[in-house]
Amino acid sequence: MTTAAQAWSTPVTGSLGVRWNAGAPDCAATPQPPLQVQAYEPQTVILRQSPCADFEANFLYLLIGSDRALLIDTGAVADPDRMPLAKTVLDLLPSKDGAKLPLLIVHSHGHADHRAGDAQFASLPSVRIAPTELPDAQTFLGLGDWPNGVARIDLGGRSVEAIATPGHHPSHMSFYDGRTGLFFSGDFLLPGRLLIDDIDAYRDSALRAAEFLKARPVAHILGGHIELGLDGQAYPHGAQHHPRERPLQLSRQDLLALPAALDGFNGFYARHPTFILSNPVRDLLAIAAGVLVLLALSIYAVRGALRRRRQRAQATTR
């Protein structure tokens, strides 16, 4: 991995004209492939894990160069019988000099639903797996000036850049592919819930990403999940059926809207046209506080009712 500047040419165009697997109301009664494979263009493949295989329904991205390939995230399912990820990816890799291209696996961040599939690749000699946590993840990619550096991953005739985008997770990174103009944003920016762990880091990441992309062509921003329907409503947490999903892709304008949205965030929950801001810890604390208030009011009401009952009983015995 090296850090370098480069000139930007017109990106290779691709297609997102696909209907993603939406899962089913009853997955047991509706068998379906666990993994959907869609070529954006011949050297860029999008893999979507079925909502029936795991409700997270992750999107994974395979970028193929002339010397090696890059897989961004390995998804939520470790069991190869339930999710044949390694076999599928290896089958997609072209051969060179009589062998499959080497594969490098990186992660948008260290949450389990983005790295569970690592186990399927761990024993394969031609595969390297990047660490998921700091400082090992940044050292592996050469992001020494965390969070301000830019690392370059050379795939052979294809360059992918990595930048730090913490806020959802301390080690979160996003990846820019110069060949296609695609920005792979993981859980930092997606059509769904943006779960905020550190609001200041999130805001800085949004500003940093916007500045990073200012001079670069952006075809689409592709995140790790789809959690919104076409009506803008979020699917319930854990839902394995996503009817009428909104498109996967976001735009540069969606990223540019993020800093202002974070500035105006109330700290709990805020809905925007293409994403939802949420602080799950504060949401849980608010729910817990509400439960305690209701419990206190219930106890007060019960005590009051018992007091009035005793008073009536005393009055009738006089």
Using the predicted structure, report yes or no on whether residue 5 has a pLDDT greater than 50: no
Using the predicted structure, report yes or no on whether residue 222 has a pLDDT greater than 70: yes
Q: What is the pLDDT of residues 93-142, one digit of tens each?
A: 999 999 999 999 999 999 999 999 999 999 999 999 999 999 999 999 99
The average confidence (pLDDT) of the chain is 91
User: Which is it for strands 249-250 and 220-223: parallel, antiparallel or unpaired?
Assistant: antiparallel
Are 39 and 61 found together in one domain?
A: yes
The CATH number linked to 237 is 3.60.15.10
Q: What's residue 285's pLDDT?
A: 44
Are 117 and 92 found together in one domain?
A: yes
Task: Return left, alpha or beta for 238; rule: phi > 0 is left, psi -120 to 50 is alpha, else beta.
Answer: left
Are 248 and 310 found together in one domain?
A: no
Asked, for residue 229, whether it belongs to a domain, the answer is: yes
Asked, for residue 188, whether it belongs to a domain, the answer is: yes
**Token pair for 265:** 């965030």
Q: d(Cα 172, Cα 248) in Å, to the nearest integer?
A: 20
Are 132 and 147 found together in one domain?
A: yes
What is the pTM for the complete model shown? 0.87
Number of C-beta neighbours around residue 256 at 10 A: 15
Q: What is the pLDDT of residues 274-296, one digit of tens each?
A: 999 999 865 444 444 444 445 55
Q: What's residue 286's pLDDT?
A: 44
Cβ distance 108 to 224 under 8 Å? yes
Distance of CA 88 to the CA centre of its chain: 21
Are 269 and 316 found together in one domain?
A: no
Q: What is the pLDDT of residues 168-192, one digit of tens each?
A: 999 999 999 999 999 999 999 999 9
Are 207 and 294 found together in one domain?
A: no
Using the predicted structure, report yes or no on whether residue 246 has a pLDDT greater than 90: yes
Half-sphere exposure of residue 79: CA atoms within 13 angstroms, side-chain side: 5
Are 59 and 165 found together in one domain?
A: yes
- Render 247-297 in DSSP notation, one character per residue: PSEE-HHHHHHHHHHHHT--SSEEE-SS-EEE-HHHHHHHHHHHHHHHHHH
Asked, for residue 2, whether it belongs to a domain, the answer is: no
User: Which domain covers residue 310, as residue numbers?
Assistant: 280-318
Are 299 and 253 found together in one domain?
A: no
Phi, psi (5° rounding) for residue 165?
-135, 55
Asked, for residue 4, whether it belongs to a domain, the answer is: no
Are 74 and 196 found together in one domain?
A: yes
Asked, for residue 6, whether it belongs to a domain, the answer is: no
Using the predicted structure, report yes or no on whether residue 243 has a pLDDT greater than 50: yes
Using the predicted structure, report yes or no on whether residue 208 has a pLDDT greater than 60: yes
Q: What's residue 9's pLDDT?
A: 82
Cβ distance 239 to 22 under 8 Å? no
Q: What's residue 297's pLDDT?
A: 57
Q: What is the pLDDT of residues 50-93, one digit of tens each?
A: 999 999 999 999 999 999 999 999 999 999 999 999 999 999 99
Strands (E), the chain: 35-41, 44-49, 59-64, 69-72, 95-96, 99-100, 103-106, 127-129, 150-154, 159-164, 173-177, 182-186, 193-195, 220-223, 249-250, 269-271, 276-278
Q: What's residue 8's pLDDT?
A: 74
Are 40 and 184 found together in one domain?
A: yes
Q: What's residue 227's pLDDT?
A: 98
Are 114 and 234 found together in one domain?
A: yes
Asked, for residue 269, whether it belongs to a domain, the answer is: yes
- 3-state DSSP: the chain helix, strand, coil percent, rounded to 5? 30, 25, 50
Residue 17 banded pLDDT, cuts 50, 70, 90: very high
Least confident of 6-15, 23-32, 156-165, 227-236: 6-15
Bigger pLDDT: 301 vs 183: 183
Asked, for residue 259, whether it belongs to a domain, the answer is: yes
Residue 14: closest CA among 226, 173, 188, 249: 249
Cβ distance 267 to 280 under 8 Å? no
Asked, for residue 226, whether it belongs to a domain, the answer is: yes
SS3 104: strand
The total domain count for the chain is: 2
